[in-house]
Amino acid sequence: MLKTLRVKNFALVNAVDIEFAPGFNVLTGETGAGKSILLEAIGFLLGGRSSASLVRTGAQGLSVEGVFDAAAFPEELRRRLELKTPSLVVRRELDGQGRTRAEWNGRRLPVSELAALGESLVDFQSQNEHQTLLKPALQLELLDRYAGLEERRREIRGLYEECRRLEAERDGARLSAEERERRLELRRLELSAIESARLRPGEEREIEAAIPLLKHAEKAAGLIDAARAHLSEEEGSAASRLSAALKSVAELARIDPGFEALAAALEPARAAAEEASRTLLGHRDRLSMDPGKLDALYGRLDQIARAAKRYGGVEEALKRAGEIAEEIAALECGDTRQEELDRRAAESRRRLERVAEETHQKRLQAARKLEAEVLRELQGLGLAESRFSVAITMDPEHLGSTGSDSAEFMIAANPGEPERPLRQTASGGELSRVALALKTALSGADGVPILVFDEVDAGVGGAVARAVGRKLLALSSGRQVLCVTHLPHIASMAEAHFSVRKVREGPRTAVTVERLDGEARVKALAVMLGGEDRSEAGRRHAKELLT
């Protein structure tokens, strides 16, 4: 869950800190008060658009920071993000020239990686955002999760990669001598480029850990020298004082044997002081204050980044190097393995086709079940006459890492209209409710821990609004839901209610956020109901909604 959101100099926001609650959170306020600005700030934090126009007028730059409770993330997500801490702190800044900088638990992060991280953490459902739910590739993945086909997807991916490798080997053996030599030369050059970079997993982290000590080597050396002076180097040091004390106590022991134990206790202290001094000296000798070494480390980081950029990372580059080496070996074999490769490639292709066909049938069964569940959800959302289906198209000629299927969610929101892909649905209000129905039906399958809904209540009211509120509350079980709403029926069901307002700060306008509890929440709901906050009828109605 998103525990804390800190926004500074973002559009009309001067500075706000919001402590969100687990479960269902709502943001309310008049139109134009800045509610959607806060959601846009969350989107920016997680890799969304950046533009100098986002910086508050008169400010040098903006910053957005989010503190996430990583302990509440699904275990699969924690593994994917390689999280070792209970909290995840994401921070992104933007200066007046449009330059942006992002950090994840204090580590610099490219915006492309931040965007991928964002898609794993938060799913935005709004009338204006490009919704991840509308991507056909994600729709197929969600259908497979819904059907419990994750293991089958991994099996298909493994068979597909094996098939590609065998077919590449087979095709390589069929090449003419001239073409084979040309391809060999290209692959050797590519392999040489990777190997010459001497990539090693984890080296980037090691360099990043070493840089701070090198940057502050002079200060570290001074601290070491000062510590050694106090321990053993200067007159009156700890070691010399302990030696003197030990000498005196030893003489006492010759007079009175009862002091022998004290002498034995002082000796380790004196030895420890001298050993600490020697250890510090060893560190001092290894300490480098050569600016050239620091430059070399920065240069090495740049070399690693350039070598791995083409492949998406060091691990991917090393994996690709292994694949190239296998292809080179296959190309060097020539015609001697042709029949064997033909047989193995054909067998691999048949296995992949068989598993893809079995998966196609399971997807068809799951699609019919999902259609029925989504239609049930739509009944209570004011779309009782809508039609929803999952169109699955099988194309054996385009067998890929997910099989031979493509999936598309289809909707006809009104009677007499043909079903169209969900991504082509025109009405923002209808799209929001369809997305809510899908999210409810797929709540156990999508794995995203935070859902953000921007004005999902567009075009609804009364009983439908209460149904929307109930579904949002149900969705917040086991995850966090943030919702911008204008409807008191929805706001009353939230576990945390935040009021967003525009206020005058001197000559400027700013956005403020306040959590409403008790009487303040009753007053806000009374106003949302169309009455005055002091109207007894409005307050009574507001209390009824809350109970």
**Most confident of the following: 56-65, 233-242, 249-258:** 56-65
Indicate if the pLDDT at residue 272 is higher than 50: yes
Q: Of 281-290, 384-393, 477-486, give the lowest mean pLDDT range.
A: 281-290
Alpha helices by DSSP H, listed for 338-386, are: 338-379
pLDDT in tens, 352-399: 999 999 999 999 999 999 999 999 888 878 778 888 999 999 998 889
How far is residue 180's CA from residue 12's CA, in Å, rounded to a whole number? 62
pLDDT in tens, 41-63: 999 998 888 888 898 988 899 99
Alpha helices by DSSP H, listed for 174-202, are: 177-196
Q: What is the mean pLDDT of residues 472-495?
A: 89
3-state secondary structure of 509: strand
Q: What is the bridge-based pairing of β-strands 61-69 and 2-10? A: antiparallel
* Portion of the chain with pLDDT greater than 70, in percent: 86
Question: How confident is residue 130, by pLDDT bands cut at 50, 70 and 90?
Answer: very low
More confidently predicted of 529 and 352: 352
Q: Of 242-246, 266-270, 320-324, 367-371, give the lowest mean pLDDT range.
A: 242-246
Q: Of 99-103, 169-173, 499-503, give the lowest mean pLDDT range.
A: 169-173
Q: Quote the pLDDT of residue 129.
A: 46
115 backbone dihedrals φ, ψ, rounded to 5°: -65, -40
> Are 502 and 32 in contact, with CB atoms under 8 Å apart?
yes
322 backbone dihedrals φ, ψ, rounded to 5°: -65, -40
Q: What is the mean pLDDT of residues 8-37?
A: 89
Indicate if the pLDDT at residue 509 is higher than 70: yes
Tokens 């169209």 correspond to what residue?
420
**Most confident of the following: 177-186, 282-291, 529-538:** 177-186
pTM of the model: 0.60
CA distances in angstroms from 198 to 76, 145, 327, listed in the order given: 32, 39, 20
Question: How confident is residue 237, by pLDDT bands cut at 50, 70 and 90?
Answer: confident
Q: Quote the pLDDT of residue 496.
A: 93
Q: What is the mean pLDDT of residues 394-406?
A: 90
Nearest 5°: CA angle at 106, between 105 and 107? 95
Indicate if the pLDDT at residue 126 is higher than 90: no
Q: Quote the pLDDT of residue 460.
A: 67
More confidently predicted of 70 and 458: 70
CATH architecture assigned to 2-148+380-516: 3-Layer(aba) Sandwich (3.40)
Question: How confident is residue 20, by pLDDT bands cut at 50, 70 and 90?
Answer: very high
* Portion of the chain with pLDDT greater than 90, in percent: 22
Q: What is the mean pLDDT of residues 268-288?
A: 69
* Domain boundaries of the chain, sorted by first residue: 2-148+380-516, 150-358, 517-547
Q: What is the mean pLDDT of residues 453-463?
A: 72
Query: 245: how many CB neighbours lie within 10 A of its CB?
Result: 15
HEC string for 79-102: HHHCCCCCEEEEEEEEECCCCEEE
For residue 197, give the nearest of 301, 322, 61, 74 by alpha carbon: 301
> Are 367 and 392 in contact, with CB atoms under 8 Å apart?
yes
Q: Of 185-189, 273-277, 324-328, give the lowest mean pLDDT range.
A: 273-277
Question: How confident is residue 434, by pLDDT bands cut at 50, 70 and 90?
Answer: confident
Q: What is the mean pLDDT of residues 513-517?
A: 91
pLDDT in tens, 239-250: 677 777 777 777
Q: What is the mean pLDDT of residues 103-128?
A: 80
Summary mean pLDDT of the chain: 82
Indicate if the pLDDT at residue 448 is higher than 60: yes
How far is residue 204's CA from residue 315's CA, in Å, rounded to a whole number? 12
More confidently predicted of 389 and 454: 389
Indicate if the pLDDT at residue 225 is higher than 70: no
Give long-range contacts, CB 8 A cutoff, 24+ apart: 85-88.
Answer: 87/3
More confidently predicted of 110 and 209: 110
Q: Residue 323 is encoded by which pair of tokens?
A: 């694949």
